[in-house]
């Protein structure tokens, strides 16, 4: 396979030659340097590279170009090569544009012209970007291919796992010529799907997610048996704890059952997160946090499900993992977040993954083009999904139990939804049942105030209701409230008494659970504020309390 490409785009011939010369001098033996004199020309080059099945590692684009400026080019190029690192070349007077680029297209870096000497101002930046690109699963070897059936729940599970872990893949239908050819080459029949073909040519039939993770370059086993800090759950709170723990010198491991980001990682656009006035996707925010944690030395272990927690004496806590292994640490941060509650209406359970989805399922959005899409829920996550799916669907129907979105949704989202003609809100409406053969075909809805029922034709239902903490595995280990959320700090001091079994002479710290040295952060914690920013803050706060705990032992 050809070397990955580094793309440079500048309409000034002198600058274009200079940047290509400096990049080629350092990286020409490992990367193919492609030079373009305009945004449209660079897009054409990217399309050719994509058709050949090759990769792009870094894109450097000048801000001031006619027809298509650097920001517009980098935003368009993301659709073709989402894992490529993006650099904006700017003059000093255009630093505001560079900041906009960070917010709008998640640009990774900006360089001021001139960048002389390159040994100080160009190469260190490029080295860091290339290292980050190489650490992205499958980036240097080409896309994974997934062969499956359109309405197959196992096929959806594989695609969702890859997408949420930011692994590029190409979806191929099993009953199309290319799918038949790939299955034949692998010696498999159509009943073997989903089949995942890795970049090195291996074929995995109906793989378990742990096997799939191992084959695409994700870490699935810890490198050590003992750590200063183990963080359970890689949502915003867990990522925040991992970044701060590792950056402050704690031997930190972050374990996650499915994918980094949690529910926030599925958000198509988060617009009220500090520092991103134009919004940022959950995937972009998650990827930045993941890279940051790895940069500081944290380990990230995927498909690792915690099933038990035990006290290992006064100096350690022991996590039991589903593969029968254990991880021991001085301290633990519980950041497992919450999951969406299942709809119990008849017919929906059998159609999960075949038209009924919990969460945004962004991988399905292009397939919804021209369709009627139904979304259940009235909080921010449902609103963000409605705005996102409105770009594809003919119409998006929001089904809410209340009389008005303002009861549970941020005002900025309410205003956006009201301004989009393709979104229709149905107040006081609930799903009674779902019907269909191999996939969802109809929903029966009811007006909660009148009881009147009606049937609608649709193949798409996305559910965003309730918040169930993932804490059953902690039953009898740490104290939880009646809904399963972990109690911490002052919430444990009922009538001024310390928790049962608490042996320390002090009260529990603010985020500390009923087991000393075990902290909870983010949505899993009782009385927490269910927002991304507060979850990140609690993750950072938990690490400061970890230090206090370790110093006081």
pLDDT of the residue at 389: 93
pLDDT of residue 51: 65
pLDDT at 99 over 70: no
pLDDT confidence of residue 255: 97
Helix/strand/coil percent split, the chain, to 5? 35, 25, 40
pLDDT at 314: 74
Under the banding of pLDDT at 50, 70 and 90, the label for residue 486 is very high
Q: Mean of the pLDDT values across residues 437-464? A: 95
Q: Which residues, 6+ apart, have CB-to-CB distance to 84 below 8 Å?
A: 55, 56, 57, 58, 59, 77, 78, 133
**Structure token pair of residue 139:** 């980036």
For residue 101, is pLDDT > 70?
no
What is residue 146's predicted lDDT score, i.e. its pLDDT?
A: 93
**Least-confidence region, from 93-97, 193-197, 349-353, 492-496:** 93-97
Closest CA to 71 of 37, 40, 44, 97: 97
At 136 the pLDDT is 73
Q: What is the pLDDT of residue 536?
A: 96
Judge whether residue 200 has pLDDT over 80. no
| pLDDT over 70 (residue 303) | yes
* Cis bond before residue 150 (omega within 30° of 0): no
Express as a percent the part of the chain with pLDDT over 90. 58
Give the chain's domains with CATH numbers.
5-135 (3.40.50.2300), 144-215 (3.40.30.10), 226-339+469-552 (3.50.50.60), 349-463 (3.50.50.60)
In 299-450 the beta strands, taken as DSSP E runs, fall at: 299-302, 306-311, 317-321, 326-334, 338-339, 356-358, 372-376, 395-399, 423-426, 429-435, 442-447
Is the predicted pLDDT of residue 102 greater than 90, yes or no? no
Which 8-state DSSP code applies to residue 486?
B
- Predicted confidence (pLDDT) per residue in 215-257, tens digit: 888 899 999 989 999 999 999 999 999 999 999 999 999 999 9
Q: Is the pLDDT of residue 388 over 60?
A: yes
Residue 151 CB burial class (10 angstroms; 0-12, 13-18, ≥19): middle
pLDDT band at 154 (very low <50, low <70, confident <90, very high): very high
The pLDDT-based confidence of 140 (bands split at 50, 70, 90) is: very low
Q: State residue 100's pLDDT score.
A: 64
Q: Grade residue 113 by pLDDT with cuts at 50, 70 and 90.
A: confident
pLDDT for residue 453: 95
For residue 514, give the nearest of 496, 484, 489, 539 by alpha carbon.
Answer: 489
| Residue percentage of the chain with pLDDT more than 70 | 95
pLDDT beyond 50 at 172: yes
Looking at residue 141, its pLDDT comes to 45
Task: Determine phi and psi for 299, rounding to 5 degrees.
Answer: -90, 140
Q: Using 50, 70 and 90 to split pLDDT, how confident is the model at 321?
A: very high
Residue found under tokens 């928790």? 499
Mean pLDDT, rounded, for 273-277: 81
Return the pLDDT at 104. Answer: 59
Most confident of 211-215, 255-259, 510-514: 510-514
Q: In this model, does residue 39 exceed pLDDT 70?
A: yes
Distance CA 55, CA 84 (A): 8
User: What secondary structure, in 3-state letters, does 405-447 show?
Assistant: HHHCCCHHHHHHHHHCCCEEEECCEEEEEEECCCCCCEEEEEE
């Amino acid at each position: 396979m050809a070397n990955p490409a580094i793309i440079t785009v500048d309409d000034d011939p002198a600058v274009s030659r200079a940047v290509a010369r400096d990049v080629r001098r350092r990286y020409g033996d490992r990367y193919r340097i492609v030079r373009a004199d305009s945004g449209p020309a660079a897009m054409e080059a990217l399309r050719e590279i994509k058709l050949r099945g090759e990769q792009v590692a870094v894109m450097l684009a000048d801000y001031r170009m006619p027809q298509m400026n650097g920001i517009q080019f980098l935003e368009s190029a993301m659709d073709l090569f989402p894992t490529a690192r993006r650099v904006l070349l700017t003059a000093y007077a255009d630093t505001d544009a560079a900041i906009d680029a960070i917010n709008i297209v998640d640009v990774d870096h900006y360089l001021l012209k001139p960048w002389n000497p390159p040994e100080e101002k160009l190469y260190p930046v490029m080295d860091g970007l290339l290292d980050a690109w190489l650490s992205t699963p499958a980036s240097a070897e080409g896309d994974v291919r997934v062969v499956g059936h359109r309405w197959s729940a196992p096929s959806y599970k594989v695609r969702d796992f890859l997408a949420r872990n930011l692994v590029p893949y190409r979806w191929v239908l099993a009953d199309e010529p290319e799918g038949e050819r790939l299955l034949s080459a692998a010696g498999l029949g159509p009943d073997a799907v989903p089949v995942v073909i890795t970049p090195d040519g291996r074929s995995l039939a109906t793989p378990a997610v742990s096997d799939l993770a191992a084959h695409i370059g994700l870490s699935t086993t810890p490198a050590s048996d003992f750590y200063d800090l183990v963080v359970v759950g890689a949502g915003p709170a867990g990522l925040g704890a991992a970044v701060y723990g590792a950056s402050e010198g704690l031997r930190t491991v972050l374990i996650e059952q499915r994918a980094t980001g949690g529910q926030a990682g599925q958000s198509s656009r988060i617009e009220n997160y500090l520092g991103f006035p134009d919004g940022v996707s959950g995937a972009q925010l998650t990827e930045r946090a993941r890279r940051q944690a790895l940069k500081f030395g944290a380990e990230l272990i995927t498909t690792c499900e915690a099933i038990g927690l035990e006290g290992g004496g006064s100096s350690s806590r022991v996590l039991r993992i589903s593969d029968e292994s254990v991880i021991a640490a001085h301290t633990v941060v519980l950041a497992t977040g919450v999951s969406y509650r299942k709809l119990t209406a008849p017919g929906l359970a059998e159609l999960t993954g075949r038209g009924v989805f919990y969460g945004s399922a962004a991988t399905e959005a292009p397939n919804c083009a021209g369709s009627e899409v139904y979304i259940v829920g009235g909080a921010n996550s449902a609103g963000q999904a409605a705005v996102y799916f409105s770009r594809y669907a003919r119409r998006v129907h929001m089904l809410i139990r209340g009389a008005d979105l303002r009861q549970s949704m941020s005002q900025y989202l309410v205003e956006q939804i009201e301004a989009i003609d393709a979104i229709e809100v149905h107040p006081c409406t609930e799903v009674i049942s779902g019907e269909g053969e191999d996939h969802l075909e109809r929903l029966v809805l009811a007006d909660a105030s009148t009881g009147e029922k009606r049937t609608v034709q649709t193949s798409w239902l996305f559910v965003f209701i309730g918040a169930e903490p993932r804490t059953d595995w902690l039953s009898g280990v740490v104290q939880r409230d009646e809904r399963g959320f972990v109690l911490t700090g002052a919430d444990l001091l009922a009538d001024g008494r310390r928790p049962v079994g608490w042996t320390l002479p002090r009260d529990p710290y603010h985020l500390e659970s009923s087991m000393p040295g075990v902290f909870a952060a983010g949505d899993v914690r009782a009385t927490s504020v269910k927002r991304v920013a507060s979850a990140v803050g609690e993750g950072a706060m938990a690490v400061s309390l970890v230090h206090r705990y370790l110093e006081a032992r």
